[in-house]
Amino acid sequence: MPKNRLLGKGTLGAQQNEARPAAASRIRVGVDSGGTFTDFVFEADGNVSIFKLPSTPADPSVAISEGLLRISAKIGVPLTSIEVVHGTTVGTNALLQRRGARMALITTKGFEDVLAIGRQARPELYNLNAVRPPELIPENLRFGVRERISANGEVLEPLDKEELSKLVNHLKKQKIESIAICLLFSFIHSDHEQQIARALSALEIPVSVSHLILPEYREFERTSTVAINAYLQPLMGNYLRRLEKNTPRLRVMQSSGGSISAQVAAAEPVRTILSGPAGGVVGALRTARAAGFEKVITFDMGGTSTDVALCERDGVRMTNEAIVAGLPVAVPVIDIHTVGAGGGSIARVDEGGSLRVGPESAGSDPGPACYGRSLLPTVTDAHVMLGHFGGAGLLGGEFVLDETRANKAIAALAAQMTKAARRTVNLIEAAQGILSVANTNMERALRRISVERGFDPRDFALLPFGGAGGLHAVELARALRIPRVILPNSAGALSAIGVLAADVVRNQSRTLMLDVATGIDKKLEKTFREMERTAADVLRREGFPPAKQRHERSLALRYKGQSFELEIKRTNGNIAAHFHRAHLERYGYAQQANVVEVVSARLRSAGVVEKLAMKHGSVSRKQFAKPAKQVATYLDGKKSNAGIYDRSELRPGMKLRAPAIVTEYSSTTLIPAGAHAEVDASGNLIIEFE
C-alpha cells in the first residue's frame, strides 16, 4: 500500500481550497470511520480539505489518532486546540458481532423474560425453522425485584429494600460489567429506579436507567433499548476515553442526525449505533438543499455496506421503531436502510450454483484483490476488470490498484461459474455478473425506502456518495426511473462532511396518553416548556446561548386502540385534523369519527453550529469540457471508449460528453452513453437521462 496522503484535493465548493500551514484560532475536524477507509474533513480559517487513511478495524481509534496527529503537525497547533466530531461504527459492530459487555437486567418481578418473549412476532412468516437472535442478557442474569407502579403512577407495592440489598451482594460475585434497570411504568414514577441506581453505585460499574434513557411506554422496546445501552457502555466508554486523552474537544454523531458530547455518548451509546450513516444523510441533505433540490434519495456506498434514506421537503425522515442487528431500538434515529453491498463485498458461487455478492466483505485488511494482499474477488475488482477506474487508481492515483491480481481473482471466480453453468463464462461476463448482482441488492434497498412506503422514485433525485456510490448511481437511477443524479464534490467523504456540519442535538420525549379534545393545549404547553427548560440548560453548558438554540416540538399520535403512531409537527389547535390528513397520506385512509390519542410529546433541541464554508462559482458560458484522455472500458455491457475527466478541472457550466469516467481524490463516477452531465454553481455534477 502506498503512503497515505495528508491533504486531498477534494473540496466542498467549485473552487479549490488548501489548508494553510499556519496556526489557526479555531480548527474543526470531522471524522468518519468506515470499513475500508477512515475519512477526515478538515476546516481551518474557512479552508476545507479532505484526506483518507486505511481503517484499523481492531481499534478504530488508532487510525483516528494518526490522522489527527498529522493535521496537528501540518497546521502547527496542539491536539487540544482541535475540535473533533466523530461518526463511529463501534456500537453497530459490537451489536452485529455480539461482543458487548457481560451485563445484568433488573426489572419488576414477573417481567424478567420480557426480552425473550418480545412481541412474539415471527421474523420469517413461512419459515418454520427461523432462528431469532439470542437475547443480549442470559436468563440467569435477569433479575426481578418486588415493587409495582400502576399505569397512573400510583405506588401499589413499595420497593423491597432488603431484597435489593441481597441482589447487590449477589451481583458483586457475578463479575458483571454493566447493569440495565427497567421497571414497569417507571417513566411515570421513577423513584424506585432511582433507589436501585443509588444502591448499585457501590459496584462502580456503568448503570443504564430507563427513565433517563427512554421515558416512554411499551416495556419490550424500552427494555431492549436500555439493555442495548448497557451492553455498549463499557466498550464505548473505553473507546472514547482513549480518544479523549489527546482530543478533549470531542463530540460524537448521534443516529438522529445531531452530535453530542463524548461524555453523553459514553453514558448513552445507544444513541450512536447509526452514527456514521446518519452523518452521510445530513451531508447529503445539506448538499441537496444548496443545489435547490428538496426531495432526494441518499445512496451511501462504501467498502462494506450501502445505506439508503429518503428525504422529503420537511427534511430527513425519522423513526423510533428501528431494528438494529435484530433488536428493537426506540430512541430517535434517521430512517436508514442498510444492505451488505459495498466495494469490498466478496463474490462467490453458492452450493446451488448461483452467483452471490456479499454481505461478507474483504474490508481494508486484506481488502479486495486489487489492493495487493488477497485473491478475493470483490465488486471493486469487477470495476478494475472492466476498466472503470480509467487506470487512475484510488485517492487521486496515489493508491495504485493491482490490475493483474484483480484479473486473477475474477478468473478464479469465472472458472467456478463455468463449472456451475456448464458453459464457458469469460472474465468480462464474470465481472459484469458481479456488478449486476450487487446492483440488484442495492435496487431492492432503494425500493424498500421508496416504493414500498408509498413514494414514487420519479419524484426524487438520487444523491450518491461514499467511495463507490458514483460507480453505481446512474445504473440504479435508470432502473428506478429516477430522472436525475446529483453527484456532490468530495462524495467519498460526504459522511465526514455531514458529521462536521451537524448541529448539537438533544432529543426528549414524555408519554402522555391524552385524548385529543378541548383542554389539552395547556397540558401540552406545560410539558413542552418543561422539556425546553431542561434542553436549554444542557445546550447552554455546551456553549450555545439562547440565540443559537432551536427547539422543535412534535407529537406522536394514533387512533385510540392502534398499536402504532404517526409523528406530526402540529402541537396546538386542531391537532386531530392534521393527524387525519397525515394518516390518509401514509396509509390511504382516515377514520374521522375515531378518537385521536396523544401518545407522547417529543422535543428535538439543537445547538446551531457554525456552518462549513461552501464555495459558489459563477456559471461560465456553457461549453463542453475537454477530457484528459480516452480509454477503453465496458459500460452498459458494451466495449466503448470513455473520456477521462479530472473533477478538479471542471468548472460551473461545463458539460461532459458521455460515456465518461470522472475521477477525483475520494471517488470515481461512471456516466454511460445517453446521459447528460453538467456542473452546477456549487460544483455538483448533475446527470440527467434522455
Average pLDDT value for the chain: 88
Q: Which range among 403-417, 605-619, 627-641 shows the weakest confidence by mean pLDDT? A: 605-619
Contact 618, 652 (CB under 8 A): yes
Report the SS3 class of residue 647: helix
Residue 562, C-beta contacts closer than 8 angstroms, at least 6 positions apart:
none
Length of the chain: 690
Q: Are 143 and 106 in contact (CB under 8 A)?
A: yes
Strand residue runs (E) in 480-636: 484-487, 504-515, 549-559, 566-568, 596-607, 623-624, 629-635
Q: What pLDDT is stored for residue 573 in this prediction?
A: 81
Query: What is the percentage of the chain residues whose pLDDT exceeds 70?
Result: 94
Phi and psi torsions of 337, nearest 5°: -110, 130
The answer to whether 465 touches 471, Cβ cutoff 8 Å, is no
Q: How confident is the model at residue 2 (pLDDT cuts 50, 70, 90)?
A: very low
> What DSSP string describes 260-282?
EEHHHHHH-GGGGTTHHHHHHHH
pLDDT in the model for residue 457: 95
The reported pLDDT for the residue numbered 47 is: 77
Cis peptide before 659 (omega within 30 of 0): yes
Distance CA 61, CA 250 (A): 13
pLDDT of residue 637: 76
Q: Which of 281, 291, 278 is nearest to 687 (CA)?
A: 291
DSSP-assigned letters across all residues of 295-309: -EEEEEE-SS-EEEE
What are the grid coordinates assigned to 329, written together? 431500538
Separation between Cα atoms, residue 506 and residue 604, nearest integer Å:
6
- In tens, the pLDDT along 459-486 reads 999 999 988 899 999 999 999 999 999 9
User: Are the C-beta atoms of residues 368 and 374 closer than 8 Å to each other?
Assistant: yes
96 grid coordinates: 452485529
Q: What is the pLDDT of residue 3?
A: 38
Residues 276-342+439-500, CATH architecture:
2-Layer Sandwich (3.30)
Give residue 44's pLDDT. 75
Helices (H) and strands (E) in the chain, counts: 16, 36
Question: Which residues are registered as beta bridge partners of 300?
Answer: 307, 465
CATH topology for the 503-607 domain: Dna Ligase; domain 1 (3.30.1490)
pLDDT at 616: 57
Domains of the chain, by residue range, sit at 276-342+439-500, 345-438, 503-607, 623-689
In angstroms, what CA-CA distances link 293 with 297, 314, 595, 683? 11, 12, 38, 14
The string of pLDDT tens digits covering residues 131-158 is 777 889 999 999 999 999 999 899 999 9
**pLDDT of 20 strictly over 70:** no
Q: How much is the average pLDDT of 335-355?
A: 90
pLDDT band at 620 (very low <50, low <70, confident <90, very high): low
State pTM to two decimals.
0.86
Q: Identify the pLDDT of residue 615.
A: 62
Q: Peptide bond before 359: cis, by omega within 30 degrees of 0?
A: yes
Check: CB of residue 67 under 8 Å from CB of residue 4: no
Rounded Cα distance between 667 and 489, Å, is: 9
